[in-house]
Amino acid sequence: MDGRFLHFRHPQARVGGWKRGGLILAILALGLAVTPENRVTAAPSDTVVIYGGRILTVTHGEIANGSVLIVDGKIKEIGEKVDAPPGAQVILAEGMVVMPGIVDTHSHIGVYSWPEVDANSDGNEMTDPVQAGVRAMDSVNLEDPAIQRALAGGVTSIQILPGSGNVIGGESVTVKLRPGSTMDEMIFAGAPRGLKMALGENPKRVYGSRTKLPSTRMGNIYVMRNAFQQAKDYRAKWDAWEKKPADERGAPPERDLKLETLSDVLAGKVRVHVHCYRKDEIEALFRLSDEYGFQVASLQHGLEAYKVADEVSRRNIGVATFAHWWGYKWEAWDGIPQNAGILAEHGVKVAIHSDSPDLIQRLYEEAAIAMRYGLSREDALKSITLNPAWMLGVDNRVGSLEVGKDADIAIFSKDPFDIYTQVEKTLVDGKVVYDRSKASGAPQAGGSQ
Amino acid sequence: MSAPRMTRGMPTAESRRPAGSRLLSCLALFGACLLGSTSGLRGAEKAAAATASPAVAIVGGKVFPVSGPVIEGGTLLLRNGKIEAVGKGIAIPSDAQRIDATGQWVLPGMIDSRTHLGLWEIDLDPVTRDEDEDTDPITPQMRVVDAFYDETENVPVTRQLGITSALTTPGDENLINGQSALVDLSGGDLEQVLIKFPVAMHFSLGEPPKARYGARTQLPSTRMGSAALIRSSLLQARDYLTKWDAYEQKKLACDTAKPSKGKGKKKDEKCPAERPAVDMKLAALSSVLKGDLPAIFRAQRMDDILTSIRLSEEFKLRLILSHAAEAYKVADLLAAKHIPVIVGPITTQPDRIETLGAIYDNAARLNGAGVKLAIQTDRTNDARTLPWEAGLAVTYGLPWDVALRSVTLSPAEIFGVADRVGSLEPGKRADVIVTTGDPFQPLTQVKHLFIRGVERSLRTRQDDLADKYR
């Protein structure tokens, strides 16, 4: 929220631009409790009240007509009435729907920046099938225009992944969409590290077309197994060196950035997100992760995960998938729009992901399509908020509207699953980072020319 | 591209092998394709007329004829593949099957104005794709009917969402791509499902052709190269047409002159008329020059749109624009020239150089200027997204009734089949859907779907898979 918007201290500032009459009266009549303490001292400008919307908390049901109090970027109160100090910025949400900011586990924003030209292609280091040492954060173009579009879709946190041209593509980075910030400021502080791995057609096509390993699915798994075996040996070498008394150690083993990342995976310090499609390759992945003892955080795409739903559930692995896209290659031929619904019925935490700067703008619509094919409304809501946050290890911070969580919030004009809905405002850490009424370059009437 | 993510994590699509289309020899249909004007196929109308279907009365629903006002609690009577009556208080014949649509909506089946249904099974596998003869930038002689796979899995998946017919078109990476067909989605064989062929000749401007042929250091590698090659092809076709016209006239003269001259030995040395050689490409283009076949130009950027207008005016083509991401920039011009625009997908992004001007309210602005609109998905595996595309156009300002028209009657008018499909009117084909509500809402379900008066299955292979593993 920029300081020019509604503000108790300067109530006239934006009245001229506000379409409804009686604004000040309305705010005074809101039932915002003004306590004696804060009557005297105006609240700091980072106190924000979202007033009068239908609130979808995700974890504690809906509040038909409630408010959210935000202080210092965190949710301080949430309910039918909140204690708002005078001076708080007020965002009117009457008739609107307030929900957590959308979280996407699968984005290539910045690493495949718009426009899609070779010069902007920075997501796949396809010079070796094992690229555990590269980090997506070093490829992100912070000026990617798709960031603004994602915000216009109510998205607040994303995982930016390397592509799937390699068996091991590199480290991902989880960011908050704070436009105009530096990478350091964008990074979701405290989010766990992530590693992108890929099975199936993509890596075998990339390297097979060069008559190089891997050109088959067994080749894919071999490349992974070999890499993890090396990482295990590498770790053992370092452990042995570290265990020696300081005067007997000698020179340390040579550092290998690839193997460092992979040994961190084996040590449980890095979450593994695996691009996959077919049932058989999902099962091969399970064998591999059992053999080397690492946990898979999420299956990415997982179009045939519904065929092994019980096993995915038993292993407590999330599935981030499309609502309906299918058939674009052989391994997507058995992709079905019921995938998300079936997985959820089997107790799997499901996310609808974008993998696209187009779809990321309408993940709520994608979730509605998953509902059409059997996902419950509750799970559909979770599929774009809490569940992806859980897969990324940030569900203690975002993904639901709860006291103490980050004030990452999307305000919709209508129910998010209504095709005619639009995002009115998006807040990250309590700051308005997208406002439809002011947006320039936004994808709506009067927006861009 | 059927799915945007495909460019992710993959190398750019390898150059495809020449599509192995089952090219029906045009020579076998010599007369038909001499001037490229007829299909060489039995009339689809004949097939449709042969459809004897039992009478069906859909009663009590909210009926959207599209051609007229909404009828609350209306009745729609179908018989022998056609709509027999629509309105309120229509007597229901005793032999009619009765479908209670109380609380439901009754609409014409939707029409997708661009897909590759039947020509394309799996996007990334060239063996399963036949829409794009990528060996020559000028392929007007390519006819989608010669590669139509009528058992495609993509048809039932599309039909499930209430789409009853679709334009199936050649690709867009040649300058002149070939001839499209309008098919219904009943899933029968080509003769049964064909509504019209050929519908249009497909031209393509902008990035796809110049990217393809430029990479082969072949004309065209630029926009001016594209325009020059199209122009020279049309000029050749014009000469060809002139030659054939002269031949036809002379042949007529010779034929009529002979008998009157009797058996005299002195024969006119110019008779018999010498028949020019047949050129399949030029024959196909002739029908566009004659105005028998409209020209659908794929153009995104404003300057490409203007180029398509320039070429069309020079050769008097019946221009229809498609894709048209930046059409809103010349909306008034398009309206003044009565050029229909097939927009879409509505979700076209500013992700390529030629679509940097893409906005979601392109359709709304064109409509505001008075341009006739249709909506295309330009998808095949997920052509089922058509209603959601239309819904998104509404979200961004297109009036709802115009959006409905853009996926029903307007494309029927643009494709010259409004006498048969696109609205609920007596005498038209009974292509009808019954839904639980607004068809553009993702949560709305299609309850019944009729094509040529016969109720069609709404199940797909995907449903079978879901049931197997649920």
Beta strand extents in A229-371 (DSSP E only):
270-276, 296-301, 318-321, 350-352
Say whether residue B221 is in contact with chain A using an 8 A CB cutoff. Answer: no
Distance CA B423, CA B63 (A): 11
Asked if pLDDT for residue B33 goes beyond 60, the answer is: no
| Residue A325 C-alpha, separation from nearest chain B C-alpha, in angstroms | 7
Residues B179 and B197 sit within 8 Å (Cβ to Cβ): yes
**Interchain CB contact of A334 with B (< 8 Å):** yes
Which regions of chain A are under pLDDT 50?
1-42, 441-442, 444-449
Cα dihedral across residues A259, A261, A266, A267: positive or negative: positive
CB B230 within 8 A of CB B295: no
CB–CB contact A306 B441 (8 Å): no
pLDDT tens by residue, A272-326: 999 999 999 999 999 999 999 999 999 999 999 999 999 999 999 999 999 999 9
- The answer to whether the Cβ–Cβ distance between A112 and B391 falls below 8 Å is no
Q: Which positions in chain A touch B462 (Cβ < 8 Å)?
A: 326, 336-338
* Domains located in chain B, CATH noted: 41-109+423-470 (2.30.40.10), 136-143+171-179+197-257+274-421 (3.20.20.140)
Mean pLDDT of chain B: 90
CATH code of the region A102-398: 3.20.20.140
To test the contact with chain A by mutation, choose from B351, B384, B470 the residue with the greatest count of A C-beta atoms within 10 A, namely: B351
For position B12, what pLDDT does the model report?
33
Point out which residues pair with A70 in neighbouring strands. Answer: A48, A75
Whether A129 contacts A166, CB under 8 Å? yes
Residue A31 has a pLDDT of 42
pLDDT at A26: 37
**Partners of residue B331 in chain A, C-beta under 8 Å:** none
Q: What letter would DSSP give residue B251?
A: H
Interface test with A, best of B367, B435, B465 (most A CBs within 10 A): B465
* Helix %, strand %, coil % of chain B (to 5): 35, 20, 45
Tokens 């393809």 appear where?
Answer: B212
Phi, psi (degrees; rounded to nearest 5) at B309:
-70, -45
- pLDDT of amino acid B104: 98
What would the CATH number be for the domain defined by A1-100+401-439? 2.30.40.10
Query: Between A328, A357, A444, which is nearest B361 by CB?
Result: A444
Interface test with B, best of A204, A336, A348 (most B CBs within 10 A): A336
Minimum Cα–Cα distance from A202: chain B residue: B10
Least confident of A8-22, A220-234, B82-96, B221-235: A8-22
A344 at interface of B, judged by CB pairs closer than 8 A? no
Burial of A73 (0-12, 13-18, 19+ CB in 10 A): middle
Q: Where in chain A is the domain with CATH 3.20.20.140?
A: 102-398
CB B197 within 8 A of CB B182: yes
Which residue type, as a one-letter code, is found at position B300? Q
What residues does CATH 2.30.40.10 cover in chain A?
1-100+401-439
Quote the minimal CA–CA distance from B358 to chain A in Å: 8
For A341, the token pair is: 């619904």
Closest residue on chain A to B466 (Cα)? A338
Rounded (to 5) percent helix, strand, coil in chain A: 30, 25, 45
Query: Which helix (H) or strand (E) covers residue B196, if one does?
Result: strand B194-196
Asked if A307 reaches chain B (Cβ–Cβ under 8 Å), the answer is: yes
Least confident of A7-11, A433-437, B42-46, B393-397: A7-11
> How far apart, in whole angstroms, are the C-alpha atoms of residue A337 and residue A380?
13
Q: Where do we find the tokens 């990482």?
A: A231
Q: Report whether the peptide linkage leading into residue B272 is cis, meaning its omega lies within 30 degrees of zero.
A: yes
For the segment B219-244, the average pLDDT, to the nearest whole number, is 98
Please give the structure tokens belonging to residue B164. 């009853």
pLDDT tens digits along B258-271 = 665 555 555 556 78
Average pLDDT over residues B394-416: 98
What are B442's strand-pairing partners?
Answer: none
Q: Which residues of B touch A358 (CB under 8 A)?
A: 4, 347, 349, 351
Condensed to tens digits (0 to 9), the pLDDT of residues B104-125 reads 999 999 999 999 999 999 999 9
How close does chain A come to B326, measured CA to CA in Å? Answer: 9
pLDDT at residue A445, as a whole number = 38
B122 inside 8 A of chain A by CB: yes
- Comparing B30 with B237, which gets the higher pLDDT? B237
Model pTM? 0.90
Which residue of chain A comes nearest to B1, CA vs CA? A328
B154-189 burial, b if ≥16 CB within 10 A, otherwise e?
bbbbbbbbbbbbbbbbbbbbbbbbbbbbbbbbbbbe
Give the Cα separation of A360 and A364 in Å (integer): 9
Question: In angstroms, what separates the C-alpha of A259 from chain B's closest C-alpha?
Answer: 22
Contacts of B154 in chain A (CB under 8 A): 327
- Between A22 and B273, the more confident residue is B273
Decide: A98 and A135 in contact? Cβ < 8 Å: no
Cβ of residue A415 closer than 8 Å to a chain B Cβ: no
Min distance A128 CA to chain B CA atoms (Å): 14
Q: Which of A112, A123, A371 sits opposite B443 (nearest CB)?
A: A371
Distance in angstroms (rounded) separating the CA atoms of residues B374 and B392:
14
Segment among A41-55, B12-26, B209-223, B282-296 with least mean pLDDT: B12-26
What's residue A439's pLDDT?
75
Nearest CA in chain B to A332: B122
**Average pLDDT score over residue span B282-311:** 98
Token pair of A185, please? Answer: 């400021």
Asked if B359's CB is within 8 angstroms of A209's CB, the reply is no
Rounded-to-integer distance, Cα A354 and Cα A357, Å: 7
**A185 contacts A146 by C-beta, under 8 angstroms:** no
> Cβ separation of B4 and A117 shorter than 8 Å?
no
For residue range B169-213, list pLDDT tens digits in order.
999 999 999 999 999 999 999 999 999 999 999 999 999 999 999
- Alpha-carbon A277 to chain mean position: 20
State mean pLDDT over B418-428. 98
pLDDT of residue B27: 32
Element (H, E) at B179: strand B176-179
With CA atoms as reference, the chain B residue closest to A368 would be B442
What pLDDT, on the 0 to 100 scale, is given for residue B10? 37
Give A-chain residues touching B125 at CB under 8 angstroms.
329-330
* pLDDT at res. B435: 98
CB interface of B with A, residues 12-41, below 8 Å: 14
For residue B312, CA distances in Å to B138, B173, B284, B297, B339 come to 17, 19, 16, 9, 11
Q: Is B214 on the interface with A (CB under 8 A)?
A: no
Interface check B5 vs A, CB under 8 A: yes
Amino acid occupying residue A156: T
Q: Is the dihedral of CA A232, A235, A237, A239 positive or negative?
A: negative
Q: Which of A325, A338, A356 sits opposite B382 (nearest CB)?
A: A325
* Predicted ipTM of the assembly: 0.89
